[in-house]
Structure 1
Amino acid sequence: MKHDSLRLYEYNLWANERVFQRLQELPPEVCDQEIQSVFPTIMKTLKHILLTDHVWLLAMKGDSYENVGKTVGRLSQELEGRCLEEIHAGFLEVAEKFKDFFSQIDLDATAPYSHPAMGIIQAPYSDIIQHVVNHGTYHRGNISAMLRQLGHAGASHDYIYFLFEE
């Protein structure tokens, strides 16, 4: 039987794909249209999700807070000016890296995570996967709200739809 956290991660990937499918149906300028929201554009929201996925993958692999910051800073610069298809490719690439990493670890094992302001915690990999999924869910909801503000329907990406599609 598949570990619950892997199932949730599969949901995360499925939900991301639903959002990208919806965005690809719309005029390209929609992703860069500025609005009053959590992020000023859908594209910036997508980049934030992607960069944060990288943060947590690197952290799960044991990279230091400083190294994670440097790597993600470089990735952030590389994402500047990228189109929706390139951002989508970045999501697919980091997903493959996550899946490869998951195949090499015990998901119930714990690892340390340090933050200069919050200290150090020991957490199971499965808890960090849950965090990655929750983070993605929150911002996919932002994107749906942003699309509605711009006069477009969002993508249906609730977990129950994933279960029905399975």
Structure 2
Amino acid sequence: MKHKAKQQYDYHHWANNRLLKHLHHLPGEVYSKQVNSVFATVAEVITHIYRTDGMWLSVMTGDPLEETMVLIKQHEQEVEGQDLGGMETLYTAMSNKYESFFRSQEDLDVILSIEHPKYGKLECSIAELVQHVVNHGTYHRGNITAMLRQQGHPGVPTDYVFYLYDKS
């Protein structure tokens, strides 16, 4: 039986893909047009979600903080200057890394001990961190919907219930 955290990640992947495909159907300038919002452009939000997903995967795999920091810098370099198609390719690669990670895990409820230089020590399960990744993505996909509406374009429904309908 599929672990709930894995299903949640599958939803996250589905929602990201649905949004990226929707963006392809909008005028090209929508992706990089400056708007007065939480982020300056839709592109900035897309790259932020990607970089954050990568950071948390590094944490979940047990990488030391120093290694995670190097990976964050690598992800910043990867996304620099990427257009929507390039980001779609990076998202697919990230999803493949998550899938590989999930296959390698016997227990997503195992407790990890995380040390953060600013926030201190946290003990939580991999499943809880996956929930955070999903929640973070949902929040920022909402930002993108608002940004699209500011530009006169509709968003695309990415609520969890639409995922359930789509997969049934």
Q: TM-score range by the shorter chain?
A: over 0.9
Which residue is equivalent to 2:61?
61
In 2, the alpha carbon distance for the partners of 1:156 and 1:22 equals 10
1:87 and 2:87 matched: yes
In 2, the alpha carbon distance for the partners of 1:2 and 1:69 equals 31
Deviation at 1:103, TM superposition (A): 1.0
In 2, the alpha carbon distance for the partners of 1:80 and 1:27 equals 21
> C-alpha offsets along residues 33-70 of structure 1, whole Å, 9 cap, x if unaligned?
00111110000000000000000000111112222122
Query: What are the residue-to-residue correspondences of 1:1-166 with 2, within 5 Å?
Result: 1-105=1-105, 106-166=107-167
Classify the secondary structure of the residue corresponding to 1:66: helix
What 5-or-longer segments of structure 2 have no aligned partner? Answer: none
Pairwise CA RMSD: 0.9
What 5-or-longer segments of structure 1 have no aligned partner? Answer: none
> How many residue pairs end up in the alignment?
166
Deviation at 1:29, TM superposition (A): 1.2
Moved >4 Å (runs of 4+): none
Equivalent residue letter for 1:52: T
- The percent identity for this pair of structures is 40
The alignment's TM-score, normalised by the length of structure 1, stands at 0.97
Deviation at 1:8, TM superposition (A): 0.7
Equivalent residue letter for 1:27: P
The alignment's TM-score, normalised by the length of structure 2, stands at 0.96
> C-alpha offsets along residues 121-151 of structure 1, whole Å, 9 cap, x if unaligned?
1211000000000000000000000000010
Deviation at 1:74, TM superposition (A): 2.3
Deviation at 1:95, TM superposition (A): 0.7
